[in-house]
Amino acid sequence: MKTIYLDNAATTRVDDDVLKEMIPYFTEKYGNASSMHFKGQEAKFAMEKARKIIAKEIGAKPEEIIFTSGGTEANNLTLKGLFFWNKENETGRNHIITTRIEHDCILNTCKWLERQGAKITYLDVDAEGFINLNELEDSITDKTIVVSVIHGNNEIGVIQDLESIGKICRAKNVLFHTDACQSFTKTFLDVRRQNLDFVTLNAHKIHGPKGVGALYIREGIKITPTMHGGGHERKIRSGTENVSGIVGFGKAVEIAKKKDVEKMIRLRDKIIDGILRIPNTRLNGSREKRLCNNVNISFNNIEGESIGGYLETFGICTSTGSACASHSLETSHVLKAIGLLPVQANSTLRISISKYTTEEEVNYLLEKLVPVVEKLRKMSPIK
Ligand SMILES: Cc1ncc(COP(=O)(O)O)c(C=O)c1O
């Protein structure tokens, strides 16, 4: 059976060019980037090339990029690193502002930090998923360390207005972090224009390898490391660098194209319009400020899991939420935050496309989805 992979917000297929670029760094150029000899230096050279590519993509300097094992680590490092730096230096600041629609790796880090003495404000969002800028401004106090707001949401695809948030943070003299794992290379991201002090990135959402990410840290800002060791990555993140992964990450960024984004927007809109023709459906998140690859629809009165299960019998992979949370049976915190009732939230399907998604696949999805929904609705005890 043919596979139609529509779960690209969970992860993406590694691009052939990315893989080709990576392979020599396993087999021939396998040096440790910290070694002084030529094998080490060839690895270091490749790693620095990737750092330059990634920095340029977000308007940063290469020295402002720290490689990590992925988005989860970069998010942990930002919040824990800042909290403990402020604690060690007795600045009197212990307050972090974030939102109710963050990825679990931000929310669970915040929960853990609360047990270490941090005060966390969780900003509400409106029905489309946007934070309220006045509420943000009012939440900032003289104890606030950082504001952390997800750029493109992994479940509902809403894109926050980083420029306006950045202006508020700058005016109030607090740091600004964004988790850009889902938005990187898909929408405008510029650390200077948007006044960003920290940005979390990863490779596996953009056809790069899993297990590699990066954290942009604006020059001059200090954090306490969470990983202690040999002092790699400017003493901020010890541990032998994942050179092949970093090389793949750089290549994935280098080959990301605007025309792929345009294609995804067209196919995304075709899916949205096609599904919304089914009565009693609603699109979650903003229609206009939306990731190019995200569709998130509630079908009401039928289980999203059942729809996904039926689609799978046709070889179509979708998701009911974020991959990291789908093992839990709890209602999505993001859908709850935009005001969905549990019964609506549980009827939700996330379809996330990539540059590899074709028009034929979209047609096939729509052809199969309509009868699946009709069938499940007939079977549903809730009308
Ligand atoms: C918005 C967001 N942040 C962070 C992560 C975690 O990144 P990683 O899988 O690289 O640890 C993901 C991926 O699931 C994500 O979508």
Last residue of a domain, one of 255, 289, 307: 255
98 and 244 in a common domain: yes
Element (H, E) at 175: strand 175-179
Structural domain harbouring 61: 16-255
Instruction: Answer whether 296 contacts ligand 1 (Cβ < 6 A).
Output: no
Q: Is residue 161 part of a domain?
A: yes
* CATH number of the domain within which 350 lies: 3.90.1150.10
- The predicted pLDDT at position 327 comes to 54
Q: Is residue 382 part of a domain?
A: no
Last residue of a domain, one of 199, 222, 255: 255
- Average pLDDT across the chain, whole number: 96
53 and 184 in a common domain: yes
195 and 62 in a common domain: yes
Give CA angle at 195 (190, 197), nearest 5°: 95
At residue 87, φ and ψ (nearest 5 deg) are -65, -50
For residues 46-69, give the mean pLDDT: 98
- The predicted pLDDT at position 1 comes to 85
229 and 267 in a common domain: no
Which atom of ligand 1 sits closest to the CA of residue 105?
4
330 and 190 in a common domain: no
Q: Is residue 163 part of a domain?
A: yes
Q: Is residue 383 part of a domain?
A: no
Which atom of ligand 1 sits closest to the CA of residue 153?
1
* CATH number of the domain within which 24 lies: 3.40.640.10
Q: Is 105 labeled as catalytic in the residue annotation?
A: no
- Count structural domains, the chain: 2
Instruction: Answer whether 76 contacts ligand 1 (Cβ < 6 A).
Output: no
DSSP H helices, the chain, are 16-22, 24-27, 38-57, 71-88, 104-115, 133-139, 162-171, 243-255, 258-276, 304-313, 333-337, 342-345, 359-379
CA-to-CA distance for 81 and 98, rounded, in angstroms? Answer: 16
206 and 278 in a common domain: no
Last residue of a domain, one of 234, 255, 276: 255
Residue 303 has pLDDT above 70, yes or no: yes
Tell me the per-residue pLDDT of 34-51, one tens digit each, with 9 for 90 and over.
999 999 999 999 999 999
Q: Which residue has the higher pLDDT, 10 or 325?
A: 10
Residue 324: pLDDT band with limits 50, 70, 90: very low
333 and 243 in a common domain: no
- The predicted pLDDT at position 115 comes to 98
72 and 167 in a common domain: yes
273 and 176 in a common domain: no
Tell me the per-residue pLDDT of 142-190, one tens digit each, with 9 for 90 and over.
999 999 999 999 999 999 999 999 999 999 999 999 999 999 999 999 9
Neighbours of 74 (CB within 10 A): 28
Residue 325 has pLDDT above 60, yes or no: no
- The predicted pLDDT at position 376 comes to 95
For residues 277-284, give the mean pLDDT: 97
Q: What is the largest CA-CA distance in the chain?
A: 71
* Centre of ligand 1 from the C-alpha of residue 11, in Å: 9
* Centre of ligand 1 from the C-alpha of residue 181, in Å: 6
